[in-house]
Amino acid sequence: MRISGLVALNDVSFSVQPGHIVSLIGPNGAGKTTAFNVISGYMRPTAGSVALFGENIVGLPPHRIAARGLVRSFQRTSVFNQSTVFDNVLTALHMQGKAGLWQSMLRLPGFLREERSLREEAAQMLDFLGLAHRANDLASNLAYGEQRLLGVGIALAAKPRLLLLDEPAAGLNPSETQAFKDMIRRIGDSGITVLLVEHDMHMVMSISDDIVVLNQGLRIAAGKPQDIQQNPEVIRAYLGSGLKRAQD
């Protein structure tokens, strides 16, 4: 991937196995966000290919890629601040709903049935997120970490098979980070594949099945957490920052 003459990603290749939690790590400017942009269709790669469930998706717009099961949760998500937590999730589920406009406007039986089942699903989602006790609060009144959890809930409402999380622990305090870590595990346990970019090495080392390391646009390592922690090139590229802290 070239961006105005600069090679942001150079021959980077890796795969994400179904059901795994995979972390993409590396120092600032390594190319992690660029990789996410390419994978999710926000940037068209200058060369190479991206395959999703075996099919090439290069050139497809992000919403088409999302419809194929790859959903991305952004650092700043589209939480509706003036709606309740419950309504945020319900609206997101509605966007996946089957009832058409006329059914909804005329409140036909199909719509009412779907509405009931979506409300149940929204309640289950809040349980899953650990936000059930906040259901009736305005989203704007949530703590920062809770807003981030809700943002993931909104992404989950789109029913991903592969969920991309961009620095989920950024700006979270230790207990919020723990809550997030637990939730990512639960997402993985529910059968959803997770690819995340994260700087918190404690989190990365404890939840990842596989880790891919980028440095200056190159893939310098890929493997299991224990191998990555002992990889001399990774230690060199990362020493003094994340990995060192994780080993302390």
Ligand X SMILES: Nc1ncnc2c1ncn2[C@@H]1O[C@H](COP(=O)(O)OP(=O)(O)OP(=O)(O)O)[C@@H](O)[C@H]1O
State the residues that interact with ligand X by CB under 6 A.
3-4, 6, 8, 26, 28-34
* Closer residue to ligand X in complex, CB, 45/153: 45
Closest contact distance (angstroms) between CB of 12 and ligand X is: 11
Nearer to ligand X, 32 or 148 (CB): 32
**Joined tokens for residue 184:** 């990512």
| DSSP assignment letter at 145 | H
Q: For ligand X, give the closer residue by CB, 5 or 54.
A: 5
Q: Which is nearer to ligand X, 10 or 117 (CB)?
A: 10
The burial class, CB within 10 Å (0-12 / 13-18 / 19+), for 78 is exposed
Two tokens at 226? 């224990």
Angle subtended by helix axes 85-94 and 144-157, to nearest 10: 20
Cα dihedral 88, 179, 208, 234 sign: positive
Token output for 26: 């590396």
- Shortest approach of ligand X to residue 158 CB, angstroms? 23
* Least distance from ligand X to the Cβ atom of residue 26, Å: 6
Shortest gap between Cβ of 76 and ligand X (angstroms)? Answer: 14
